[in-house]
Structure 1
């Protein structure tokens, strides 16, 4: 690709002040230390991998570690720092604002400020907060607000509400289960239908969602006859609840993962993602080659690379090339 073109909906920012704060607390991100980040390194990475615009988000572990006042302060500082990065290069960056969950009142206040004053492109939520997943009734006031605003919400995994397994880093499998649980929570609670104005993007191709799609439908049903009817409807574009989610392909645009994703997702709701700066450059090179060599129709590849994200972030329409 001759010039940056893609819109990367799964790209992280790690403000220096936030990094110092988290390291001082001795907290890791998915079992690994926070990698270094700078605007310069992000742009260099993007140019190398054909990314015109990166939609920045704060990674796990977020900002809430038990002190609501501290979380509100950190969320505001992270969002204002990120908004400044975006304002200096609006064609190269966008951002998902960080909130203060499980502090719902603080999250509502920060969401209003981020969307109305900082002009955030959307909101990032972790899959669970203290073991409560996004379909939990405690989060309904926030979902109502985001539904009313027609917000784009990026669902990013975090630590499972369970002990870590020694020798197995959280990002390798726990993250995928965490995203899957969040999707199930939104589906089984009815939130995905009640708050249909929210555009939920599931990280990493939805975790295990595509692979266990039929199990998810079975979990929705109360008897065998309904189950058989729902399974028959899985391939019906207008009836599959799983097609209401958006899915990014970060770490998932591979010959092993793409077939399941393409069998379940609405092709108009798949977006490009890299997970920079957490993925080492050689790994990104390898994964990019896997994606670029995978046999996709040119129209679908264009949609994943850019077109589908342009629908979500209309300010970026017509800005490629």
Structure 2
């Protein structure tokens, strides 16, 4: 069985509301007739599977993906005025709940939260999980330039911990995106930087001491966290202003995070596997973004020189456990 844990969808109601109400994004057609969503620092070219369930299911069928854990994606709703962001989040989550109801064997969904107000975000997380049955939420690596380890965001973590709801930390444009305007560097490098920065700040700020049962999933194989974590550990031990701030060694927290496999180089995947272990890697494709690959994502896992049991965990077993999917049949296609 294959469960894609990093894949994105724009519900129709969200796109309609975005076109009518958004002050932070624009949705237009390019010269080739494709829909393009522009937002601060970057843009997304919409493929059919971004907004058509029929196209999405066809892609999943072709690639042998049994289930998808859908999430929105950039730009989210946090760049809007608070009342607009809250309304857009409810639209997304209500439509995601309907997708789960219509296709219980094919889709589960992560809540979208109005992160410009942590109290409103915590309330929406509780509604999305308790009332709508969504399986967690997606947060962005910064909220309008604000790092999400700050205490102002802690009501979200308190709610997530109480609900047992996993939080996927997805990158967005870093605060210095103006320096990455050329060559699509926001997506190619800026996202990995912001993912890594957020993971390290969450640990060093003591968020995981304050919320020890919080479940965090870092996307894109944790950015460059597996590569640089030892340096952070070494610095924590060396610098007096850091040493002793935490209840445990920084590496302990890093290795309790989950990573998805949206980095398709086998050597990098083996590094990620060595870093967190076979119980904390989740299959991800980043489909249907231009830089995603729904076909290669499972294939590269199946071709790794690792035990079949480890492959099974990465392809579906870890997701089934983490998102409570044990009732899903392994023969859903």
TM-score (norm 1): 0.88
Q: CA deviation at 1:195?
A: 1.3
Whether the aligned pair in 1 keeps the contact of 2:288 and 2:294 (CA below 8 Å) is no
Q: CA deviation at 1:304?
A: 0.1
Deviations 1:113-147 (Å, cap 9, x if unpaired)? 11111011001101110222221111112111211
- Pick from 217, 225, 228 the counterpart of residue 201 of structure 1: 217
Tell me the secondary structure at the aligned position of residue 86 of structure 1: helix
Tell me the secondary structure at the aligned position of residue 28 of structure 1: strand
Residues 1:10 and 2:20 aligned together: no
Tell me the secondary structure at the aligned position of residue 201 of structure 1: strand
TM-score (norm 2): 0.85
Residues 1:211 and 2:223 aligned together: no
Deviations 1:213-265 (Å, cap 9, x if unpaired)? 112213433448x98xxxxx89xxxx622111000102x13223112212211
Q: Where does structure 2 lack aligned partners over 5 or more consecutive residues? A: 27-36, 244-248
Tell me the secondary structure at the aligned position of residue 116 of structure 1: helix
Residues 1:285 and 2:281 aligned together: no
Q: Structure 1 CA distance, aligned partners of 2:145 and 2:201?
A: 12
Tell me the equivalent position of 2:206. Answer: 190
CA 1:174 to 1:59, structure 2 compared with 1: closer, same or farther past 3 Å?
same
Q: CA deviation at 1:287?
A: 4.8
Whether the aligned pair in 1 keeps the contact of 2:6 and 2:260 (CA below 8 Å) is yes
- Pick from 250, 258, 273 the counterpart of residue 262 of structure 1: 273
Tell me the equivalent position of 1:294. Answer: 304
Tell me the equivalent position of 1:230. Answer: none
- Select between 86-95 and 102-111 the one with higher mean Cα deviation: 102-111
Tell me the secondary structure at the aligned position of residue 227 of structure 2: coil
Q: Structure 2 CA distance, aligned partners of 1:72 and 1:14?
A: 16
- Select between 91-100 and 147-156 the one with higher mean Cα deviation: 147-156
Residues 1:154 and 2:168 aligned together: yes
- Pick from 303, 310, 317 the counterpart of residue 320 of structure 2: 310
Tell me the secondary structure at the aligned position of residue 9 of structure 1: strand
Q: CA deviation at 1:96?
A: 0.6
Q: CA deviation at 1:268?
A: 0.5
Q: Structure 2 CA distance, aligned partners of 1:318 and 1:95?
A: 14
Q: Structure 2 CA distance, aligned partners of 1:38 and 1:294?
A: 32
Deviations 1:188-216 (Å, cap 9, x if unpaired)? 11112321222111111011111111122
Q: CA deviation at 1:22?
A: 4.3
Residues 1:73 and 2:87 aligned together: yes
Query: Superposition RMSD on alpha carbons, in Å?
Result: 2.3
Tell me the equivalent position of 2:108. Answer: 94
- Select between 141-150 and 298-307 the one with higher mean Cα deviation: 141-150
Q: How does 1:116-127 map to 2 (within 5 A)?
A: 116-127=130-141
Whether the aligned pair in 1 keeps the contact of 2:264 and 2:296 (CA below 8 Å) is no
Tell me the secondary structure at the aligned position of residue 225 of structure 2: coil
CA 1:104 to 1:270, structure 2 compared with 1: closer, same or farther past 3 Å?
same
Tell me the equivalent position of 1:166. Answer: 181
Tell me the secondary structure at the aligned position of residue 196 of structure 1: coil
CA 1:122 to 1:270, structure 2 compared with 1: closer, same or farther past 3 Å?
same
Whether the aligned pair in 2 keeps the contact of 1:99 and 1:125 (CA below 8 Å) is yes
Whether the aligned pair in 1 keeps the contact of 2:216 and 2:258 (CA below 8 Å) is yes
* Segments of 4+ moved more than 6 angstroms: none
Q: Structure 2 CA distance, aligned partners of 1:137 and 1:309?
A: 29
Q: Structure 1 CA distance, aligned partners of 2:166 and 2:179?
A: 31
CA 1:149 to 1:104, structure 2 compared with 1: closer, same or farther past 3 Å?
same
Residue-pair matches, total: 306
Tell me the equivalent position of 2:60. Answer: 46
Q: Structure 2 CA distance, aligned partners of 1:85 and 1:302?
A: 26
Tell me the equivalent position of 2:32. Answer: none
Q: Structure 1 CA distance, aligned partners of 2:297 and 2:99?
A: 27
Q: CA deviation at 1:291?
A: 3.3
- Pick from 147, 150, 160 the counterpart of residue 136 of structure 1: 150
Tell me the secondary structure at the aligned position of residue 67 of structure 2: strand
